[in-house]
Amino acid sequence: MIIDSHGHYTTAPKKYTDFHFELVGAASEGRSLAGMRPADVSDDEIRESLEDAQLRMQRERGTDITIFSPKAAGMSHHLGDISVSTRWAEASNDLIARVCELYPKNFVGAAQLPQSDGAGVDAAVRELRRAVNDLGFIGCNVNPDPSGGYWSGTPLTDKSWYPLWEAMVELDVPGMIHVSKSCNPNFHTTGGHYIAGDTTAFVQLMQSTLFDDFPTLRLIIPHGGGAVPYHWGRYRGLALDSGLSDLEEGVMKNVYFDTCVYHEPGLRLLTDVVPTRNIIFASEMVGAVRGCDPRTGRHFDDTKTYIDALELDAEARGAIFQGNAMRVFPRLQAALSEN
């Protein structure tokens, strides 16, 4: 079985996702959000939005199940306040739950959390519990920068985040550290902000004692770990200079990188440098880069073909495509057997 651990509902019906802007508009005019609901979307409209996109790509590429979350840039935690983010996260997760209900063999849910700069994590904890306990989700996306590119909040290792880590440990779900849209014109969302966010989050975790406090917490850094694998020597050196454990005995006991790296040499580097047990297959389709590489004729985000081309033994291949995800997402096994 091939588990794609990172997919977003980027093709969700627009009339539904417009709900976010309706909430933002209402809040800015001081109107009550109570009673506001997203537009009705039929099961057929959901099917249509997926059939010629994620589902076709799963079939064509030979992947089996996608851990599916709301569109990452669409979380846009910088818009509105925590009441807007809460209603928007609930609506987004409800839609993912319908996708998983319609296609239980193809998708399993990961939650968007309500976050807002300076608002704490209480709302995120509540929605995480609802998503896991009521909707059957198996993970969540955690935005390390709800300000949208200004990084005005606290690092992930600050005590203000601890109630969220406690809830994730208790529920036994991992988090993908995933920024959202950049509203800072210095940072292109998927080209600059995403990769910088991945790298920044890794360094925050590396420098901290977070995993001494939460030894079973599991966090995934997407997009191949940002710039970290390429600069592995720098981070090992920084860790050792600071009197920390080497990465493999330290931060990498709890941190995983996915394979959303859109060329074969990049994935070769990832698998050469980072221990196999820390690498989880993912493509992030349909996502940041949608076109075909004119040199290969294949989609940039068809990451399975790059891994297929690597000289990995069967054990490493099995771990990357399936075994590591089963370990990091313990609730996946139950979700699969229910279906």
Contacting positions for Zn ion (CB under 5 A): 72, 284
For the bound state, the minimum distance from the C-beta of residue 61 to Zn ion, rounded and expressed in Å, comes to 17
Chain residue whose CB lies nearest Zn ion: 72
Q: Judging by beta carbons within 10 Å of its beta carbon (0-12, 13-18, 19+), is residue 338 exposed, middle or buried? A: exposed
Q: Judging by beta carbons within 10 Å of its beta carbon (0-12, 13-18, 19+), is residue 246 exposed, middle or buried? A: exposed
For the bound state, the minimum distance from the C-beta of residue 313 to Zn ion, rounded and expressed in Å, comes to 29
From the list 45, 284, 311, 338, the catalytic residue is 284
Residue number with CB closer to Zn ion (116 or 283): 283
Residue number with CB closer to Zn ion (83 or 182): 182
Residue number with CB closer to Zn ion (112 or 324): 112
Residue 60 annotated as catalytic: no
Q: CA 206, CA 246: separation in Å to the nearest integer?
A: 10
185 sits in the region (left: phi over 0; alpha: psi -120 to 50; else beta) called alpha
For the bound state, the minimum distance from the C-beta of residue 321 to Zn ion, rounded and expressed in Å, comes to 19
* Paired tokens of 236: 């090992």
Distance set, CA 256 to CA 109, 157, 239 (Å): 19, 17, 17
For the bound state, the minimum distance from the C-beta of residue 248 to Zn ion, rounded and expressed in Å, comes to 26
b/e map of 255-271 (b: 16 or more CB within 10 Å)?
bbbbbbbbebebbbbbb
Residue number with CB closer to Zn ion (4 or 211): 4
Active site residues: 284
